[in-house]
A and B are shown apart, each in its own frame.
Chain A
């Protein structure tokens, strides 16, 4: 079983809409959760991290964590064409401080 699962997409949303990206993880003991954005040919760029159940907001981004359901999501409000990228969900591993990444969800925001 893959430790971090994401729908590969592509997820297509119109400009100005809310994009919802989802991620599930298998290790109940996971404590640290991260969302990275990756443009084609570039390295991952941190968007948000979340450690506690509930919502965490930063500008147009909201991360949601539900440890009971082993589910973490990222909402992007007022989506812009510049948000078009692959979004990677990362979860701490059960040993050491490495991150386990999902394969990423490709987001396309159409003008």
Chain B
């Protein structure tokens, strides 16, 4: 399978705990994105990477959230001190990174987070 993969697919945690999600992009895709989706809403942008550089962060990405993409390969998204409002589907996407345009983003299966 050469698509975007995410792990875990489901995570249930208690309020106040830290969680970490992993995303493996399509091989050779330079850009990697994180989005969050809640019920009845479209995905909302959180952050994106061009290779290992984190180039843009949404105001939705509070200081409890941190993302990394070491060596420009897989990425992790960590949420510290989780709150019930963090319950959502966390989606990772990747794209080739064609210069000068917003190119097609391919989504992984998502990680569904439930904070009790």
- Chain A residues whose C-beta falls within 8 Å of the C-beta of B106 in the assembled complex: 46
Give how many B residues have a beta carbon under 8 Å from the other chain's beta carbons: 25
Chain A, 37-86, CB within 8 A of any chain B CB = 42-46, 49, 51
Chain A contact residues, CB within 8 Å of chain B: 4, 8, 31-32, 34, 36, 42-46, 49, 51, 88, 90, 92-93, 95-104
Chain A binding surface SS class: loop
- Chain B residues whose C-beta falls within 8 Å of the C-beta of A32 in the assembled complex: 101-103
State the CA gap A46–B91 with chains docked (Å): 14
- Chain B residues whose C-beta falls within 8 Å of the C-beta of A34 in the assembled complex: 104-105
- Chain A residues whose C-beta falls within 8 Å of the C-beta of B28 in the assembled complex: none
Q: Which residue of B lies closest to A97 (CB)?
A: B102
Q: Are B107 and A45 in contact (CB under 8 A)?
A: yes
